[in-house]
Chains A and B, each alone.
Chain A
């Protein structure tokens, strides 16, 4: 029998997920013996035409990372969906929108304005902005159209499985891939390569009393590496975030930022964390409560850093 055909592709992403796969190192070689990699633009030379040439459903499983932020992302997503039996949203961007979906706090014009006008290093007196089409002597050039709102993969095509992580950690990646090689596969829609419990469950730090008297930012202190960061006033998304990452950030004495996404029963990762955090504010009077609430830096960016596109509100008010 022939090896299963697998494909990797990236949409709007930083490329970290690609690195996460390369991180498999020698395992990658063993993998190559078990599967045929039929499409992987980031690592090997493929053209979209190769992909278009493939018959529908001919790929066993495609790992797609990155959010959907422009017409090209969407086009390829649809193409890969057609060509693949199984489509996996690989990495937090594809799953929840990730960092790119913070762009949902503005829109195309806003992004253009800041990138092509406002940044101090930009000098653009002619006010030149990207055009989807431009006529040159050789003919018409086109580039993809940037969207106003960043979407998750499953907001444009049907997705079978999700793998969280920014990026997914090494051993989880190999587990997930081998799962597709050896099976058995969980029911459709499952989140793979992550725990169903929050990071607190695997956190080694000690907890004493759940209360927050003061919000402290990471640059303001060197936290006690043994004690719960929340109790030291550092906003740690751990309580509202899936474990499974091996709590690498916490081991580096840095707080969890929430990249593994919401817990199975949580309606909205940001909302849940906001409630958990404010519930344990150590303040009774309205003034004190106001002070603490005001001292939380950038609530939207803090609580929805990785999940804005998959949140209840999805973007700021248009």
Chain B
């Protein structure tokens, strides 16, 4: 026989605007065991919380129901205030009458009726709640960072400087990521690799950072504070420690391969270093394109290395599995480019002189395929008329990407300006929908470009691009003059959007971290918890979470590192005790439940009865649903409570 108090929140007009609070309070007051019911304008405010606190004392309540916003919002807040007022925090239930009542139903009468049922459900549940104590578990004070782009680099450095061990996992042969491929960065036009390079070296030299290149996360087990991660590392076939990057091996290698770092605009050897500033500064043999390792077909590289070099090549190397134990994981998997070939209206892939911004970026780069000169892929001529198409395949919910990649306005402006500098007599056109230049110095930068001579901004979209006697005919519309325009161009550059790394879906299911509709990692709360995944202990940094530019990425990376450090700052942490347990005298040991547990938390004990390991159980309840004798129950979500709630709904 509990003494239950019910607190109904107006949330300003968010709830009160569409739900008759008075009625909800009155009806709640009439429910069994409810001794006190009251409403307040903002329960989450200080006065609101004080009201709860005082009422608990005055009416010596031993359980409360807070009817307010979704538990996803303030459940923790209200449980804590309950605890501070001397209640067991698990004697507090939230009734969601905002997100799933006042906001979604037009008719106030019906919204109120539903709100009442929701509150009644909460009352029925809390009446049967038992007081619980959190489960305390130790924390492994190490961090795993997945992805070695600028986000991963920044996060790894911050955690390492905070004094904790970091594992940095990178799938390619070097860290650096997309930023390493960039020529300049907006709005300051400073050289990208010049500012990135030193950080890469710092990572390489840092005593607290273990860099695992050519590596992928294979399996993730455990939970916040206690992750067990299997990482598979492919062999580089080159001893990092010994290699002095003399390059003799590459000279000797007969296998030519399109260079992905230049998007296939140049060639590399099967044994190669991705780029001059690569970290670790050692060559890599890509086994896929090598003439043959098993059995060994060529071995020229090894011969050359032994002859001129440091004999650091081992062609018999095998993949390694690293079994890591970490307390937190930072996901910084970054982005890839939307496949421009899907945008058939622009003819990418059909016409050689239609290229993506990233390809153009490489062409601008002094280390790129043309050492910084701008040339048409088709005939190597310098283009005179160039068209930049912004939002290519973006903000197109029907056929391509629904979202805006945020950085294209800026880098396109930079590209156009660089083109003008490199081809002074050239004419550039930029098709845009609207210029999004939010950011320090951004608007000023775009203005500068727009005022450039021979650089014309056209507000409108391009309908189609097709080839006609050696020219690319670009048909579009200028919505400002309201006229259709046709430009006979030499080169067309598509600002295609950012898409999440192709492996993020696989990784997400290993991490049990959810993705949003576009495949980016979702954050725990869009406003208040943008650095965390909804899955505890997993933090997010960089473009893997949403399109971002470099400053934002770096800021988020440092933020995520801060979060991880916070988690590691204590040797133990508390976990939810709302987990499964077995009522021994009811269990018959039929062991139907045992194989169902995704965490191997269930086993048969000495008396051949089922047993739950508290440290492992996550409380999903799958075993409970399968138990034919009702011996398994979920703490504070028992079958009795489920039935009570069902009856509250249907009565």
A and B touch in the complex (CB under 8 A): yes
Kindly identify which residue among A210, A243, A265, A273 contacts B630, using a CB–CB cutoff of 8 Å.
A265
B630 x A239 contact (CB < 8 A)? no
Give chain A residues whose Cβ lies under 8 Å from the Cβ of B73: none
A308 CB–B CB distance under 8 Å: no
A197 x B591 contact (CB < 8 A)? no
A197 x B626 contact (CB < 8 A)? no
With the chains together, A49 CA to B594 CA distance in Å? 58
A111: min CB distance to chain B, Å: 32
**CB under 8 Å from chain B, chain A span 189-235:** 196-201, 207, 209-211
Given contacts A265-B586, A280-B592, A280-B595, contact A240 B628 (CB under 8 A): yes
A142: min CB distance to chain B, Å: 42
> Taking CB as reference atom, which chain A residue is nearest B630?
A265
With the chains together, A47 CA to B211 CA distance in Å? 94
A279 CB–B CB distance under 8 Å: yes
Given contacts A267-B639, A279-B592, contact A196 B585 (CB under 8 A): yes
With the chains together, A264 CA to B627 CA distance in Å? 13
**CB under 8 Å from chain A, chain B span 565-622:** 583, 585-592, 594-596, 622
A263 x B626 contact (CB < 8 A)? no
B324 CB–A CB distance under 8 Å: no
B592 x A239 contact (CB < 8 A)? yes
A266 CB–B CB distance under 8 Å: yes
A276: min CB distance to chain B, Å: 4
A198 x B591 contact (CB < 8 A)? no
A210 x B625 contact (CB < 8 A)? no
A265 x B631 contact (CB < 8 A)? yes
With the chains together, A279 CA to B623 CA distance in Å? 9
Give chain A residues whose Cβ lies under 8 Å from the Cβ of B585: 196
Chain B interface, >50% SS class: loop
With the chains together, A279 CA to B596 CA distance in Å? 8
Given contacts A264-B586, A272-B630, contact A207 B591 (CB under 8 A): yes
A266 x B590 contact (CB < 8 A)? no
A238 CB–B CB distance under 8 Å: yes
A132 CB–B CB distance under 8 Å: no
B626 x A275 contact (CB < 8 A)? yes
B596 x A239 contact (CB < 8 A)? no
Give chain A residues whose Cβ lies under 8 Å from the Cβ of B13: none
A187: min CB distance to chain B, Å: 17
B592 x A197 contact (CB < 8 A)? no
Q: Please, what's the 1-or-0 string for A260-293, where 1 marks a CB less than 8 Å from any CB in chain B?
A: 0001111100001101100110000000000000
With the chains together, A210 CA to B629 CA distance in Å? 16
With the chains together, A196 CA to B588 CA distance in Å? 9
B588 x A197 contact (CB < 8 A)? yes
With the chains together, A239 CA to B631 CA distance in Å? 12
A203: min CB distance to chain B, Å: 9
A266 x B628 contact (CB < 8 A)? yes
B625: min CB distance to chain A, Å: 6
Give chain A residues whose Cβ lies under 8 Å from the Cβ of B590: 198, 200-201, 238-239, 276
A239 x B625 contact (CB < 8 A)? no
Interchain residue pairs with CB less than 8 A apart (10):
A200-B588, A200-B589, A209-B595, A238-B590, A239-B629, A263-B588, A264-B629, A265-B630, A279-B592, A279-B625
Residues in chain A within 8 A of chain B (CB atoms)? 196-201, 207, 209-211, 238-240, 243, 263-267, 272-273, 275-276, 279-280
Contacts beyond the supplied A210-B592, A272-B627: 11 A-B pairs with Cβ under 8 Å: A200-B590, A239-B588, A239-B590, A239-B592, A263-B586, A263-B628, A263-B629, A263-B630, A265-B630, A275-B625, A275-B626
